[in-house]
Amino acid sequence: MRKARQHALEARLARGTLVTLSVLAAACDRALPTADELDRMTAATVTAAAGKSALIDTSNVIYYVNDVATAKDAANAIVPDSIVSVSVTRIANAAGEIRITTRK
């Protein structure tokens, strides 16, 4: 009985490891943006990329520009040359926050 229990535990562990490795392989398969794509990145392209990767629900995003809550249209109007950094965070219920820091 002990051997059967140990065998079942090992089989379950092996299946769990295979699932974990599959998820990891799929995550690593995602293409990172090129330097050119990063240079042209805007709030709209960040939102689209986060939605495509299922990181956030793009219909429920809160935008912040320099730590001030901002309307989507205002965030999308920021030209790429003035963006210093962009941060995407998943919050409750797959809603998202996109925080943009601009040159001051």
Residue 88 pLDDT > 80: yes
Question: Residues 12-70: pLDDT tens digits?
Answer: 766 666 666 666 555 555 566 677 777 777 888 887 777 777 777 778 888 999 999 99
The predicted structure's pLDDT at residue 71? 94
Q: Measured on CA atoms in the order 96, 89, 69, 63, is the torsion positive or negative?
A: negative
Residue type (1 letter), 57: D
Residue 102 near residue 84, CB atoms below 8 Å: yes
**pTM of the entire predicted model:** 0.60
Task: Kindly give the residue spans of alpha helices, DSSP state H, lying in the chain.
Answer: 2-28, 35-39, 43-52, 72-76
The predicted structure's pLDDT at residue 33? 65
The predicted structure's pLDDT at residue 18? 63
